[in-house]
Structure 1
């Protein structure tokens, strides 16, 4: 590629409801500068984050690529893409690597750290593929060390989180991208990790929180402590369950009509009048139907509460109930449901709506664009290899200015946490080494063991779980 051309990155996110794509430049500071973005309904070819119908998925991705390509300069074409994945089998496996440094001990060297990396690099899980390896948590003679190089000890341990997914799911992605579309698969990036890394503040990721994305087919839970991923879970629950629930209203509905009803009239407000009626038209052009707004809201409210109850139960049962003091950072289409945050406020715990940090994208990108395409912006932020190639063109053409995105102005950014994620590349997966120690103001309590912190720290998890259980069982609000 001609060196005088700017690098353009291409990313696609495989959502259960929509395929999203983005082309972007990246500034010298790494901020994403969007050129164009599009999204296309999946029409069922992707289920719970997995490619179900390869032929239809290839057709839709090809259409998405064509639409993105319309904004490229002359002589440029998309030749490789990163793919964001959030599928039902994805989760984090804990891997412990260790080396013995002799009975008398010795000073830890860079070669020792490399030996730990080499060990985890050989890890294998039957039927699974490793997509990402997080930065390690080091312990020297059982004591937490943030930068162990130069420390004298007898035993050095490193605990990694390995993000894995079923091999057949990865094979379907490779079949679709490389064999059907003839594109280079530059990497498969776990979307929940990319989003969390681009969203969480230093305080949230250091003290402990859970990034939760309630999407169409899945709900992801990424738990962070000490600025590192501690656990990842994907639940096969989301907005599609709400849609299927609404097909069972007193007047039966097609799923397409139930989806439209959910989007146009859905709410979690169960205090509306019993006499309030709404009229809904069919997507097939059939006769309009009348429904009780209260009935609709009750269906939606019950299902969303059930999803929230599952999220909180998983955090608690996995042993992190006392280790997420910064609460939940919430993203995904379901969280945009009317009265969603009003419902959470009744539960009285710490949460906030997820927003990409300002250091992730360039100034001039509109907040509306960022909100709609947060996932692919986060994926582009982590991209390392360009996905657009250029033909050799005459000199006068090369001297033309590149197209500039025209978005409304935004305010300056604030600092980001140093949490990073790995990406699956053509040659395997990469490591991202943590070199900066945890800020002193966040490090004190983290010297305790997890067992000690469970006892000593108050937990809001049990209280909220009990509240959700009571509300879900009785159908009454506090």
Structure 2
């Protein structure tokens, strides 16, 4: 940290289409300035968040970091990377300690509770990439924020672990730490965005944050102030684009008409008469496509994605208990998607950009472009964490971390000009809950888990150290399989 209590940090987001990088000054008072940004095409080297070609991605990331440093005219103090992708999911765990008699609970009791899980066996295919998320403590059945000092005879904790296949985490580490020799801290954008976009009241009464990406859709669900589930559904905006190529057009043309002309809304009289002019797959000629036909493809796949989301949320929350939805991600901008969600859930659906707008418009580029929300949330989190942990020269100089940052003016590159809780539900989805459905127009590929050898059992290990809202205990491997088959998707 420099003398003016500022760090200059780089933030990386590994997406299926692009690797995004931003350079930001984060200050000890919780403010931040995003100074530069740059992107590079992933070119198929990253699929559903998992890096496949380590050498190629390392070269791309190295160039991004060098470019940011040169544009800003200063060295990079720290590097932060987001971990998100297929197989990332939460799993609720519980631990209980019987004290024997009514007495005051001590820190040693808490340590004993934590050690109870140390000798358990877990499925070696998964690792814990973040420690206990939103733990809920109960003393003699009553919720308490901090059990130490409370009198009782029984202590219980329920908490969510964030788990994933090892390669999701390992490959990012190999690129940054081994190949580029960059000391890196790892963040979980899904949980950070939930803290940024969802209010305490929303989390108390039941809500969901849905991040619509290119190849995945991440769903984070909250109730009674706690996270009750997080899943990554291996379907995103690219599935719609691929479907449209069945009309004998290129992927580029399919993406263009999806975002510019397409809609998930029900057919209208105007749509019935409309046409879209596109380039044919060979790029030599053009042709007209009925807009109604284009939107039939879009509605079919969009409806499938929304049904998968609905199936998952309905297993976590009691009927009619969802109070709202916030959507983000590049694919969230598709025309009619918010209306489709409103119709499915009968709740208010907000764009995350409209919520960020309440915080001020200084960093408007990163607020208005939903594909940058993951990066923006990481910058916000680091600035707030810096404010919360910074020790100034005098006690009077300390400031509380604000609810939202007071942001500095942003300099952009030329590229940019263009309550109490209770036990969580333990319902599980049927094995085929996330299998693709066959539409009237489209044969959607079946999403299923490939046959595997019986998993080995291992004693709990310590996994990667990730920055997270949890208090750092109970990091362990996963015992048991996923709620739905999300790990292997046939292409």
The residue number in structure 2 matching 1:106 is 103
| Aligned partners of 2:34 and 2:411 also within 8 Å | no
Distance 1:281 1:128, change over 3 A: same
- Inter-partner Cα distance in structure 2 for 1:122 and 1:22: 42
The residue number in structure 2 matching 1:46 is 46
Partner of 1:3, secondary structure, is coil
Partner of 1:325, secondary structure, is coil
- Inter-partner Cα distance in structure 2 for 1:108 and 1:333: 48
Residue 256 (structure 1) aligned with residue 252 (structure 2): yes
- Inter-partner Cα distance in structure 2 for 1:367 and 1:285: 36
Distance 1:117 1:20, change over 3 A: farther
Residue 147 (structure 1) aligned with residue 146 (structure 2): yes
- Inter-partner Cα distance in structure 2 for 1:337 and 1:162: 32
Give the deviation of 1:219 after TM superposition.
0.7
Query: Residues 110-157 of structure 1: CA distance to partner in whole angstroms, max 9, x if unpaired?
Result: 333344445568876522221212131011122322332222111101
CA RMSD of aligned residues (A): 3.1
The residue number in structure 2 matching 1:415 is none
Partner of 1:81, secondary structure, is strand
Give the deviation of 1:25 after TM superposition.
2.0
- Inter-partner Cα distance in structure 2 for 1:286 and 1:18: 28
Give the deviation of 1:228 after TM superposition.
2.2
Give the deviation of 1:370 after TM superposition.
1.4
- Inter-partner Cα distance in structure 1 for 2:85 and 2:253: 26
Count of equivalent residues: 395
| Aligned partners of 1:95 and 1:120 also within 8 Å | no
For structure 2, list consecutive stretches of 5 or more residues without a partner in the other structure: 387-407, 413-461, 473-491
The residue number in structure 1 matching 2:34 is 34
| Aligned partners of 1:246 and 1:253 also within 8 Å | yes
- Inter-partner Cα distance in structure 2 for 1:128 and 1:348: 32
- Inter-partner Cα distance in structure 1 for 2:211 and 2:317: 18
Q: Which moved more, 1:234-243 or 1:13-22?
A: 13-22
- Inter-partner Cα distance in structure 2 for 1:268 and 1:90: 28
| Aligned partners of 2:128 and 2:464 also within 8 Å | no
Q: Which moved more, 1:319-328 or 1:89-98?
A: 319-328
The residue number in structure 2 matching 1:235 is 233
| Aligned partners of 2:127 and 2:463 also within 8 Å | no
Give the deviation of 1:364 after TM superposition.
5.3
The residue number in structure 2 matching 1:265 is 261
The residue number in structure 2 matching 1:369 is 366
Partner of 1:206, secondary structure, is helix
Q: Which moved more, 1:123-132 or 1:424-433?
A: 424-433
Distance 1:238 1:365, change over 3 A: same
Give the deviation of 1:243 after TM superposition.
0.9
Partner of 1:216, secondary structure, is coil
The residue number in structure 2 matching 1:461 is none
Q: Which moved more, 1:338-347 or 1:117-126?
A: 117-126
The residue number in structure 2 matching 1:20 is 20
For structure 1, list consecutive stretches of 5 or more residues without a partner in the other structure: 387-402, 408-423, 435-478
The residue number in structure 1 matching 2:442 is none
| Aligned partners of 2:185 and 2:466 also within 8 Å | no
| Aligned partners of 2:34 and 2:363 also within 8 Å | no
Residue 288 (structure 1) aligned with residue 293 (structure 2): no
| Aligned partners of 1:267 and 1:300 also within 8 Å | yes
Q: Which moved more, 1:157-166 or 1:286-295?
A: 286-295
The residue correspondences of 1:20-419 to structure 2 (distance < 5 A) are: 20-73=20-73, 76-78=74-76, 80-102=78-100, 104-117=101-114, 119=116, 125-133=123-131, 134-187=133-186, 189-249=187-247, 252-269=248-265, 270-271=267-268, 272-281=270-279, 285-316=283-314, 318-322=315-319, 324-347=321-344, 349-355=346-352, 363=360, 365-372=362-369, 373-383=372-382, 405-406=410-411
TM (normalized to structure 2)? 0.72
The residue number in structure 2 matching 1:462 is none
- Inter-partner Cα distance in structure 2 for 1:431 and 1:284: 51
TM (normalized to structure 1)? 0.74
The residue number in structure 2 matching 1:391 is none
Give the deviation of 1:94 after TM superposition.
1.5
